[in-house]
Amino acid sequence: MQKLVVVGNGMAGVACVEQILKHAPKFEITIFGEETHVNYNRILLSAVLAGEKGADEIALNPLEWYRQNGIQLRLGIRISEVDAASKTVRGDDGSVTGFDKLLVATGSSPLIPPIDGVQKEGVFVFRNLDDTRALLQRAERGVKAVVIGGGLLGLEAARGLQVRGCEVTVVHLMDTLMERQLDYTGGGFLKAKMESLGLKVLLERNTKAILGNGKAEGVTFADGQSVEAEIVVIAVGIRPNVELGRKAGLRVNRGIVVNDYMETSHPDIYAVGECVEHNGICYGLVAPLLEQGKVLAATITGNKGPRYEGSVMAAKLKIMGVDVFSAGDFSEKALGTDVVRYEDPALGVYKKLTVRDGKLAGAILVGETNDSARYMEWLRGQTDLTAQRRQLLFPAPGEDSGLDIAEMPDTKVVCGCMGVTKGAIIEAIHQKGVNTLAQLKECTRASTGCGSCTEHCQQLLKAVVPEFEEEQEKVLCPCIPFTQEKLREILRSQRIRSVQEALEIYGNGQGCEVCKPALSYMVDMLWCGDHDEDRSARFINDRVHANIQKDGTFSVVPRIRGGVTSAKELRRIADVAEKYRVPMVKITGSQRIDLLGVKKADLPKIWAELGMPSGQAYTKGVRMVKTCVGTDFCRFGVQDSTRAGIELERRLEHLYTPHKVKMGAVGCPRNCAEATVKDIGLVGQEGTWQVVVGGAAGKKVRKADLLITVESMEEALQAATLFFQYYRENANYLERTYDFVERVSIEKVRRDTVYAPLAVQQGLRERLRKSKRLARDAWLEGAEPRHPTQFVQIEPLEKVYQ
């Protein structure tokens, strides 16, 4: 068997090996990688830096894959010499390895401009996983960072550092950002958007030196000005790694020169990826490298035929909420170029197309990139646009602005980043049983790059997999078109603490009565109450802390913990009811007292005179714990359900939840307070407590699932609060516990709460504790305390908890 040695365990080299494995004959393959990691998706390093993905989530080929394919993987070894005559490579570990065929896939290195002091501590590049980890270690709230370079990579690095809490300045040599992909106007729109996120952008600054004594303290420019910085990231471009090519005597210009078959000037040495130059072009994007890999695999395995004829350059900025796309040649200078343009500074939308000979030559989209796939199709297919001239920027009404997925030929590329065609996706669906987007990503890698093809992948799944429709996730609202899960991830990873900020960056800037309350809940929950509260984002009930009735009056329900009250409280309730002529005083089904028909103007006075906390009967929050009499008075009682109920209510009251939460505690399985049809129930047994969750006895009737059986009341309370916080963090807004438990399954709920590792449980408890610390009785906000016992704050959780 022939020996194939691959130098470079990166995206291009390994993708090419994957293609080679599909052909015959087979090789004995050895891959050398200087990095110590298996092949990973380098594109997603920006997502790792921004906290959207974990480092362990971006691996492309696990160790198992190398093993299964009989590949010898040599990690952490840099190949320093190639002897083309004796056909050997030498590693920096001293090893010498012979080859019959050599594949050079060494990629690029960051370009370091002539700046004094680049070796100082605190100066970074952003190319690989180790760089990213090093940056993550230093990036903390309040740390000042400068990113030199306002291109794709620099901007992604800058935003990543900013969401980690750094104060970031982007320094760029040119007079506009991303000048390779955008014209001056587009760059201006982008700058405005980046600044609206809180990043500083300095243009036309020529960085001369890194300041500081051994350690970065700032940067200084040719004009004498300077900026403070503890972290400096250099992201000004890349330089193909061609040294090995030179050592092997290959023809090298900027990159290692290859022909249309990906052959170098040596018959047994091939090259692929960012280290090569084809027709004078060195590509710095993944899609061209994958196309090259397919051609190379055919050539090296003796199936020479397919040619690499160059790729359309396209780029998309991967910063959540900053939509920028650019493809092809957007210059206006070439003879016969028509420019079609639209711009709206208020919306931050800029679109420009260049058309030559009736065909699309280039496209720039800023602020709205929905049509990028359509333009890519036109560019790749060199479509004659004569008939569509009136609809170049805006598709005709009713027309699908995306690709017509049904009419698309199988050879068309759906995922530009990973070079996955429609045919490959359909094959995966039919032959590998793929029927979800997650499976499609894993199987084909489609939609794992910049994410702009996700909609098309979903359309294909919908068209080919009959049951896919039901699985499709719903976006929260057209104002901010993300699923709730995604929104929680965005708010968390991008450190967004207000509804308005979320709407401005990721939505239409306005919001509506559907998305605003949901976003308001999410920021409250994610930041444990430490957020910028926007009362106008709440429902009317939440704004007035009372439940509006059909005649416009309100109902007032004070908190009566565990349904246990006192003569004094009852007297105050009666006094208030008489004084304010409350038309109806009603005992509710939840063991509370409801004052119905209260005028809005009387609300603050009533709260003050009642001297009881709000029962949150009007909001998506903790309602009550219904209890039975338990051991105190009932002859069947085996557990103290009244005390357990009061304690549970004290621990959770005043907190907001995705939907209302009703609870119950009973002293024996006779279940007099119906705990088994409550969102959370504690059911006393002889010597144990059962904690049950997800019950319902309203529009839907559902017996709660058993979460866990424990011995003591304290353990039962702990388990109930773990579930409570898990529900708060993971349920969709307006999803009751019974739908939530059914959706995620009780097994998963158990795994993630009562059976979760200690650290996970501690995390849930700590966040609950923080929320509780900042939670206030809503009625306290509306009135000065007038009654001595009014709004007495409950003891801090720590006192009663552990």
Ligand X SMILES: Cc1cc2nc3c(=O)[nH]c(=O)nc-3n(C[C@H](O)[C@H](O)[C@H](O)COP(=O)(O)OP(=O)(O)OC[C@H]3O[C@@H](n4cnc5c(N)ncnc54)[C@H](O)[C@@H]3O)c2cc1C
Applying CB under 6 A, the residues found at the interface with ligand SF4 are: 628-630, 634, 636-637, 641, 666-668, 670-672
Subset of residues 92 to 121 that bind ligand X, contact rule: CB under 6 A: 105-108
Separation between Cα atoms, residue 642 and residue 645, nearest integer Å: 5
| 244 lies in the binding site for ligand X (CB under 6 A) | yes
Question: Residue 482 binds which one of ligand X, ligand SF4, none, with CB within 5 to 8 A depending on kind?
Answer: none
778 binding partner (options ligand X, ligand SF4, none; Cβ < 5 to 8 Å by kind): none
Cα distance between residue 375 and residue 361, in whole Å:
10
| 672: partner contacted, choices ligand X, ligand SF4, none (Cβ within 5-8 A by kind) | ligand SF4
Contact 284, 274 (CB under 8 A): yes
> Hey, which residues between 248 and 307 contact ligand X (CB under 6 A)?
273-274, 284-287, 289
Phi-psi category of 585—alpha, beta or left, where left has phi over 0 and alpha has psi -120 to 50?
beta
Distance (Å) of CA 494 to CA 205, 532, 697, 722: 28, 15, 39, 26
The DSSP secondary structure of 560-581, one letter per residue, reads: -GGG---HHHHHHHHHHHHHTT
Residue 112: exposed, middle, or buried by beta-carbon count in 10 A (0-12, 13-18, 19+)? middle
| Rounded-to-integer distance, Cα 15 and Cα 39, Å | 9
CB of 446 to ligand X, least distance (A): 14
Name, in order, each residue with C-beta under 8 angstroms of 45's C-beta and a sequence gap of 6 or more: 58, 126, 128, 129, 131, 132
CA 106 – CA 94 distance, rounded (Å): 19
* Closer residue to ligand SF4 (CB): 231 or 716: 716
Cβ closer to ligand SF4: 128 or 676? 676
Q: Cβ closer to ligand X: 9 or 459?
A: 9
- Min. distance of Cβ 674 from ligand SF4 in angstroms? 9
43 binds, among ligand SF4, ligand X, none (CB under 5 to 8 A by kind): ligand X
Pick what 671 binds: ligand X, ligand SF4, none; C-beta below 5 to 8 Å, kind-dependent. Answer: ligand SF4
What is the rounded CA–CA span in Å between residue 478 and residue 515?
Answer: 9
Partner touching 230 among ligand SF4, ligand X, none, CB below 5 to 8 Å by kind = none
670 binds, among ligand SF4, ligand X, none (CB under 5 to 8 A by kind): ligand SF4
Tally helices (H) and strands (E) across the chain: 26, 40
CA-wise closest residue to 505 among 283, 188, 751, 193: 193
Indicate the residue whose CB is closest to ligand X. 10
In the list 18, 19, 29, 33, the residue contacting ligand X (rule: CB under 6 A) is 33
Q: Of 162 and 590, which has the nearer Cβ to ligand SF4?
A: 590
8/511 with CB nearer ligand X: 8
Tell me the C-alpha distance between 357 and 342, whole Å. Answer: 21
- Using the minimum distance from each CB to ligand X, give the nearer residue, 186 or 667: 186
Residue 589: CB minimum distance to ligand SF4, A: 17
Least distance from ligand SF4 to the Cβ atom of residue 633, Å: 8
> In the stretch 202-241, what mask flags binding to ligand X with x, by CB under 6 A?
---------------------------------------x
How far CA 576 is from CA of 173, 570, 582, 583, in Å, comes to: 71, 10, 8, 11
- Residue 308-327 contact track with ligand X, rule CB under 6 A, x = bound: ----------x---------
Contact of residue 33 among ligand X, ligand SF4, none (CB under 5-8 Å per partner type): ligand X
Q: Which does 629 bind (CB under 5 to 8 A by kind): ligand SF4, ligand X, none?
A: ligand SF4
CB 707 → ligand SF4: shortest distance, Å? 19
Could you report how far apart the first and last alpha carbons of the chain are, in Å?
67
Distance of closest approach, residue 613 Cβ to ligand SF4, in angstroms:
26
Pick one of 4, 5, 19, 32: the residue that binds ligand X (CB under 6 A): 32
Q: Which of residues 577-636 bind ligand X (CB under 6 A)?
A: none
Q: Give, as ranges, the residues between 149 and 208 that touch ligand X (CB under 6 A).
A: 153
Distance CA 504, CA 550 (A): 34
Of 608 and 704, which has the nearer Cβ to ligand SF4?
Answer: 704
Token pair belonging to 511: 């919001």
Q: At what angle do helices 484-493 and 499-506 cross, to 10 degrees?
A: 110
Q: Give 381's contacts (C-beta < 8 A, 6+ positions apart).
A: none
Bond from prior residue into 25 cis (ω within 30 degrees of 0): yes
Are 275 and 245 in contact by the 8 Å Cβ rule? The answer is: yes
Helix axes 437-444, 422-432, angle to 10 degrees: 110
Residues 587, 590: Cα–Cα separation, whole Å? 8
Stretch that binds ligand X, among 3-11, 261-269, 383-391, 551-559 (CB under 6 A): 3-11
For residue 134, the minimal CB distance to ligand X (Å) is: 14
Closest Cα partner for 105 from 170, 11, 211? 11
Listed residue (9, 57, 15, 7) closest to 37, CA to CA: 9
Nearest to ligand X of 107, 645 (CB atom): 107
# of chain residues touching ligand X (CB under 6 A)? 37
- Candidates 17, 20, 38, 45: give the one binding ligand X (CB under 6 A): 45
42 binds, among ligand SF4, ligand X, none (CB under 5 to 8 A by kind): ligand X
**Residue 630 contact partner, candidates ligand X, ligand SF4, none, CB within 5 to 8 A by sort of partner:** ligand SF4
Residue closer to ligand X by CB (options 55, 792) is 55
Least separation in angstroms between CB 86 and ligand X? 18
- Token pair for residue 641? 């359900």
CB-nearer residue toward ligand SF4: 526 or 560: 560
Residue 289 to residues 273, 275, 296, 321, Cα–Cα distance (Å):
5, 10, 10, 28
- Minimum distance from residue 765 beta carbon to ligand X (Å): 36
- Minimal distance, residue 566 CB to ligand SF4, in Å: 20
Residues in the chain: 802
Angle formed by the axes of helices 713-730 and 758-774, nearest 10°: 80
Q: Which does 648 bind (CB under 5 to 8 A by kind): ligand SF4, ligand X, none?
A: none
117 to 156: interface string for ligand X, x by CB under 6 A: ---------xx-------------------------x---
- Residue 668 near which of ligand SF4, ligand X, none (CB within 5-8 Å, type-dependent): ligand SF4
Q: Which residues pair with 665 in a beta bridge?
A: 627, 682
Q: Shortest gap between Cβ of 669 and ligand SF4 (angstroms)?
A: 7
Site string for ligand X, 405-434 (x = CB under 6 A): ------------x-----------------
Residue 667 contact, options ligand X, ligand SF4, none, Cβ 5-8 Å cut-off depending on partner type: ligand SF4
Residue 47 φ then ψ, to 5°: -70, -35
- Of the candidate spans 2-10, 383-391, 407-415, 738-746, the one that interacts with ligand X by CB under 6 A turns out to be 2-10
* Residue 318 binding target from ligand SF4, ligand X, none, CB below 5 to 8 Å by type: ligand X
* DSSP codes, 112-174: --S-BTTTSBTEEE-SSHHHHHHHHHH--TT-EEEEE--SHHHHHHHHHHHHTT-EEEEE-SS
**What tokens were used for 357?**
């000979």
Inter-residue contact 408 to 421 (CB < 8 Å) = no
Residues that bind ligand X (CB under 6 A): 7-13, 32-35, 42-43, 45-46, 78-79, 105-108, 126-127, 153, 241, 244, 273-274, 284-287, 289, 318, 417, 449-450
